[in-house]
């Protein structure tokens, strides 16, 4: 799975996974290690991704779902950015975004 998180306003987001050794990669931020269970992190506006073998649970701590969007895709497919990402995250370079979402650099997806 490749999960993309599009954050529009600063917020706290909780990520739950059963996997270990995952990484949260930001388009313009440092990589953050993730491990099993739940981790709550502050997010600045921007685009983030997590490559995993299983589904993740991504929820807002405040309950305000208008502050971010979560898009997941299966192996070999890149997440499709939501329509509001281009206007809300200006300037968002479409080619750079595609390259970021296409490049696996967190957890390699393996065939079960």
- pLDDT tens figures, 36-93: 788 899 999 999 999 999 889 999 887 777 899 999 988 677 888 898 888 888 777 8
pTM attached to this predicted model:
0.86
Q: Quickly state the pLDDT bin for 105 (edges 50, 70, 90).
A: low
Question: Which of helix, strand or coil describes residue 36?
Answer: coil
The domain locations on the chain are 2-102
| Pairing of β 32-34 and β 37-43 | unpaired
């Amino acid at each position: 799975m490749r999960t993309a998180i599009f954050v529009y306003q600063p917020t706290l987001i909780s990520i739950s996974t059963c996997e270990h050794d995952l990484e949260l990669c930001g388009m313009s931020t440092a990589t953050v290690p993730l491990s099993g269970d739940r981790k709550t992190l502050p997010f600045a506006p921007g685009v983030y991704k997590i490559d995993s073998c299983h589904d993740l649970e991504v929820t807002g701590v405040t309950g305000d779902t208008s502050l971010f969007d979560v898009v997941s895709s299966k192996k070999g497919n890149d997440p499709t950015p939501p329509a509001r990402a281009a206007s809300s995250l200006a300037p968002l370079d479409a080619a750079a975004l595609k390259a970021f979402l296409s490049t696996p650099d967190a957890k390699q997806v393996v065939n079960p």
